Chains A and B, each alone.
Chain A
Amino acid sequence: MRTFIVLAVFGGGMAHATLGQALRIADVAPDIPLIVVVLLALRRGPEFGCGAGFIAGILQDAASGGLLGVQALTKAVIGFAIGTAGGRLRVSQPLVQVPGLVLLTVAEGLARYALLKLFRFPAPFGELMTYVVLPQALYNGFLGAALVLALAWAESVRERAS
């Protein structure tokens, strides 16, 4: 299980930069590491969510050639927050999963923008939200929900088999 988690965090971070191209729809790519961090935080709590978010984010930063620490911090915060609130959330329904991931992606985008602005990032807020953050948030919502369903199905198959 630990190996799987390490692979998920590490692979998710790497896969985003390399394999993300294959998942592009109309020039919008999903934030796979964010989805992975959210899923892991929901299952393993805030500590794990925070650590996974930091590792996934810093790998993403390194892979993308951006400022090291931006995504590491935002994803660590997201992981921590979801891990803390996980027990109180009912996340088994796609009707919760899709908007939940949309909101999380938007929140992560806003946090990243705020952080980058602090370090003199020049992009205009409106365009960034319209063309980058919101489309990606929608994509994340549906992809994450599909991933949750696929995992639930895989687990039920494994339980039946054992």
Chain B
Amino acid sequence: MKTRAVVLLGTVAGVCLVLLTLQMRGYAGGASDVLAIFTTPVQSALSRINRASVGVWSTYREWKNVRAENVRLREEARHLRVEALRVEETIEENQRLRRLLALKQAMPLATLSGEVIAREWGGWVRSLTVNRGRGDRVGRLTAVIAPDGLIGRVVDVRPGASIVQVLTDPASTVGAHVVRTRTSGIVEGEPRGTLRFKYMAREGGGIQVGDLIVTSGAGGLSPRGIPVGRVRAIEDGGSALFSYAQLDPAVDFARIDEVLLIVGAGAHDVAGLFPDGGR
């Protein structure tokens, strides 16, 4: 066994040395060509396999990178969406406050701005809690307005807050009149959260859908001319003493965040300060 191995080694060494010698003398060019017949196809195949493997690996790595980038971009997009919402919210708040400030500056009566800190929106009671109370010299029955019209009045004053009865509260009543026909009546809240205008049937023949209803200022509880709502439908009471008109409120009570409390007294007509201009 060992002898065979030594003989094999000797043969191999001899073949190699002969090959080298022949090559150095320029005779063994054919040997390379013969070997190339076997080696070239294998090398080509291996090279293709190599390229394919590297291609698959590169694709996988790129896919991983894309995936990681995708996760990062999603996170960034989410962050930016939140940021955009915040900016949008700030812009909207800014616009609301600007309108409120414009109304406050134009109002001939002393006013106090307040922020809504709570809402009671069940069917029994509809109220807002405003962060102005006894310390701010807010009195009971103070009218509370927004840039679009009347919200309601203060029904309870506490040390740091006031409870505002919203117009749609079932217990709410406000003296009002139709701007176009000067028909007087009372705006009442209803349990289902709507508003109606109650008026003497014999006086209200001319009321039409779309007519604007504003506060009458009767009793001095609120200035005259603050928009309350628009007539949406008229209920025909037949021969009854009173007729009713369904109203669309001038203010979207659910979306009120800032309000003005009218703390000054005086009989003023403020219709011109609101978007409808009392028309």
Contacts and interface: CB of A to CB of B under 8 A. Distances in A.
Given A22-B50, A58-B35, A84-B5, A14 B15 contact: no
Does more than half of chain A's interface fall in helix, strand or loop, or is it mixed? helix
Nearest to A116: B20
Nearest to A71: B16
Interface residues of A, number: 34
Interface stretch (B6-14, B116-124, B148-156): B6-14
Interface residues of B, number: 29
B194 to A, nearest CB: 78
A84 B50 CA distance: 35
B265 interface: no
Contacts of B53: 22
Interface in B4-43: 4-5, 8-9, 12-13, 15-20, 23-24, 28, 31-32, 35-36, 39, 42-43
A10 B19 contact: no
Interface in A10-52: 10-11, 14-15, 17-19, 21-22, 45-47, 50-51
A18 B50 contact: yes
Given A14-B42, A119-B24, A83 B5 contact: yes
A73 B16 contact: yes
Interface of B: 1-2, 4-5, 8-9, 12-13, 15-20, 23-24, 28, 31-32, 35-36, 39, 42-43, 46-47, 50, 53-54
